[in-house]
Amino acid sequence: MRIAVLGAGAWGSALAISLSTRHQICLWSKDPNHAIQMNSQRINQSFLPGYPLPEALRITSSLNEALGAADFALIVVPIAGLRETLRAMAASKIKMPIIWGCKGFESDTTLLPHQVVEAEYSAILPYCCGVLSGPSFAEEVAQGLPTALTLASKDVDFSSRIAAVLHSPTLRIYTSQDVIGVETGGAIKNVITIAAGISDGIGFGHNARAALITRGLMEITRLGLALGGSMKTFMGLAGVGDLILTSTGDLSRNRKVGLMLAEGKSLNVILSELGHVAEGVHTAQSVLRLGDRLKIEMPITQAVCSILHEGVSARTAVEVLLNREQKTEIY
């Protein structure tokens, strides 16, 4: 099958590498210089160094070229670039099914990705679209290591068909109809991961990390249920699975943010050193605003926001969090 992978960051490049072993893939970067560099060096030195781009993988900075020869598009840009990408697709007049792999809430609107799609690319709705998410590090997918993801769509036939296309011995695809739950799990876990990284960086130990992950899962679940997600989803790959991976794996960019915050580095310095998007930084305030609007208590998210945007020290914020008043575990 012919697939346009839109977004040449680490995750887009890893998926393009993995899928190119059995499909015709065109990888699109909106930056012409980046596309030229990848074409000439056959590696994405900026975002996924060390993993060669297969010769069969086509690379372009022309959206029309990428879409013109594709059966469907896999959008793997940061959430901040989703609306712009969808508008460019709509302007191209080329209509096709889409899958998105963006994680987060749009900062200005607090919208989930599917809501942005509904606003900007409604021609294909409500069918032939969905979200791909789950516990996955780009480097491991590029290496061909075993990975399991969830593809959620309201269109059961579409999700089953696309899952069969993407599925391989090393990339297992499970289907779901819970688009909201899958998106919410993938968004909020990045915020919780920053908190877990801070705790580890301070040296609070494995017990504290386990407590933060578990209580973080409760925050994900409470907000996710309020938004319309399913409890089963939060107990699956796109919920607890993704949360465990990013909160404990050192390949996680959001975990690295937490570790560096614990060292006392400023957010500007951290983002400069990281060189990649860490979605949790941008998502935290959106999550907190949604929690306030829906009257849902989000103490871990509140702590992360206070560190990122209010100048509270990492140690102070985590200590306050761990010394909150006693209460029942489930509420």
DSSP3 helix / strand / coil % (the chain, rounded to 5) = 55, 15, 30
Length of the chain: 331
Neighbouring C-beta atoms of residue 80, cutoff 10 Å: 15
Contacts of residue 114, defined as CB under 8 A and 6 or more positions apart, other chains included, come to 100, 129, 131, 179, 180, 183
Contacts of residue 316, defined as CB under 8 A and 6 or more positions apart, other chains included, come to none
Of the listed 30, 189, 256, 327, which one is catalytic?
Answer: 189
Distance CA 44, CA 53 (A): 7
Report helix, strand or coil for 49.
strand
| Angle of helix 314-322 versus helix 299-309 axis, rounded to 10 | 170
Contacts of residue 230, defined as CB under 8 A and 6 or more positions apart, other chains included, come to 178, 181
With 0-12 CB in 10 A as exposed, 13-18 as middle and 19+ as buried, what is 299?
A: middle
The two tokens of residue 125 are 């709705």
Q: Is 103 a catalytic residue?
A: no
Report helix, strand or coil for 152.
strand
State how far the alpha carbon of 15 is from the alpha carbons of 50, 141, 255, 265, 327, in Å.
15, 7, 22, 32, 44
Distance CA 253, CA 274 (A): 8
The angle formed by the CA atoms of residues 298, 310 and 305, to the nearest 5 degrees, is 25
DSSP string covering 109-139? T---HHHHHHHH-GGGTTSSEEEEESS--HH
Which residues are designated catalytic? 189
